[in-house]
């Protein structure tokens, strides 16, 4: 950002939200002179320690992005999700969702590459209902050709309630 004096302000002076320890290393050049400003950066271990402490103290309301039936959902505890597929569990069964892409709280976010490890996060859900969607009518015809095709179709649907999202402070 160019200030009133015409020089570029370093990243840390622009925002008080960004902590000095979480900014990656970068050089900001000033057009009026050949000075370089070095912004301090945090090592990986420092970031992991800080996130582990945040998890132990108070995470607030955790959220997660999960993948079920080739679709991604952002969920928190006590959410309902509905998707077009039947799963192997029966109604009333508690299941653990394995495909967690991302989990976060108020002050941190853990992104999986591609998935977050099951040792780190556990998302439990209950199967509330396995049903069919409303009827869809597929009707084709061609005028003056005596061509008519009529078909009725229902999609399988499952409704899950997310019971808990638990996170262990064992990031490494």
Cβ neighbours around 142 below 10 Å, total? 9
DSSP string, 50-105: HHHHHHHH---S-EEEEEETTEEEEEETT-EEEESS--SSPTT-EEEE--EEEEE-
pLDDT at 169: 76
HSE of 74, CA atoms in CB hemisphere, 13 A = 5
Per the confidence metrics, is the pTM higher than 0.85? no
> Of 27, 30, 24, whose CA–CA distance to 8 is shortest?
30
pLDDT at 37: 54
Strand partners, 111: 102
pLDDT digits (tens, 9 = 90+) for 138-154: 999 999 999 999 999 99
pLDDT at 11: 42
Question: Which run of H or of E encompasses 122?
Answer: strand 121-132
Asked if pLDDT for residue 121 goes beyond 70, the answer is: yes
DSSP 8-state class, residue 2: B
């Amino acid at each position: 950002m160019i200030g009133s004096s015409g020089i570029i302000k370093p990243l840390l002076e622009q925002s008080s939200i960004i902590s000095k320890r979480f900014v990656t290393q970068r050089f900001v050049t000033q057009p009026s002179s050949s000075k370089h400003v070095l912004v301090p950066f945090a090592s990986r271990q420092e970031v992991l320690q800080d996130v582990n402490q945040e998890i132990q103290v108070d995470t607030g309301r955790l959220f997660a992005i999960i993948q079920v039936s080739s679709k991604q959902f952002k969920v928190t505890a006590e959410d309902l999700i509905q998707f077009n597929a039947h799963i192997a569990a029966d109604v009333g069964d508690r299941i653990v969702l394995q495909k967690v892409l991302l989990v976060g709280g108020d002050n941190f976010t853990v992104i999986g590459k591609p998935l977050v490890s099951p040792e780190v996060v556990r998302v439990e859900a209950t199967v509330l209902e396995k049903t069919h969607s409303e009827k869809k009518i597929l009707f084709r015809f061609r005028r003056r050709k005596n061509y008519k095709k009529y078909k009725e179709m229902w999609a399988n649907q499952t409704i899950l309630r997310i019971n808990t999202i638990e996170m262990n402070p064992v990031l490494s």
